[in-house]
Amino acid sequence: MTERSTQKQSLSDQAYALLRQRIVSLKMPPRMRFTEREISEETGFGAMPVREALDRLNHDGLVETIPRRGYRVAGLTLKSVDDFFTVWSAVSPLIIQLAQERMTPEQATALAAIQQEHRRAVGKAKLNPEDWIRLSRHRFDLLAEATRNPPLQAIYRNLSAEMDRIFHSISRHKEDVRSIFDLASRFDSVIPSVEDASEFIRISREKIAEIIIEKGFDYPQAG
């Protein structure tokens, strides 16, 4: 983000972007508790921008309100991962299908460049998960834009944070990361058919569940 674009944002937008990134990158891990005052003091934003940002994050499903005690980052469990992929398996093929039908030549060129970067990122001897996650998100941002369907774009924006958080979680398990990301990138090499996208999501969901179970990464339910 450029300095000029940052200046155009409201303070609540800036606070929202900062906190959202911290949550999806696990710098603020699932179940972490905090107060509005703590966030305000740490980030330097005033109470109102922080409150508005937290309201938006609550709406996104990334933050939960604890009455009279503050907030906590939403948990990440096998159920929440499965819930995400249940919805994503219906939404992503529709995004891909509409993008195929409505993409401009300029968007197609940009998509091809992203996919080339994807191949280079996965082909490196030392895989950088941050690069892969960034490129994957950039790719679907572009596909969602190409649909020219505002309601679908709104659904995608709501799901995209949880998608990032799931893949950041996987990136903590170094020995398993390449196989998952390589699986995803094979489908990123072209715009897949709706059937191929659904099959990819099914396989990914199974592999992610295996990692969470084997590595003990299932966060406890709210208590």
Residue 154, pLDDT > 90, answer yes
Give pLDDT, residue 165: 87
How far is the C-alpha of 74 from the C-alpha of 129, rounded, in Å? 23
Give pLDDT, residue 115: 80
Residue 198 burial by CB count (10 A; 0-12/13-18/19+): exposed, middle or buried? middle
How far is the C-alpha of 175 from the C-alpha of 214, rounded, in Å? 12
pTM of the model: 0.77
Domain boundaries 3-73, CATH class? mainly alpha
pLDDT band at residue 186 under the 50/70/90 scheme: low
How far is the C-alpha of 95 from the C-alpha of 102, rounded, in Å? 10
Question: What CATH superfamily is the domain 78-215?
Answer: GntR ligand-binding domain-like (1.20.120.530)
Give the tokens for residue 118: 């994807």
Q: Where are the domains of the chain?
A: 3-73, 78-215
- Report, as an integer, the average pLDDT of 33-50: 94
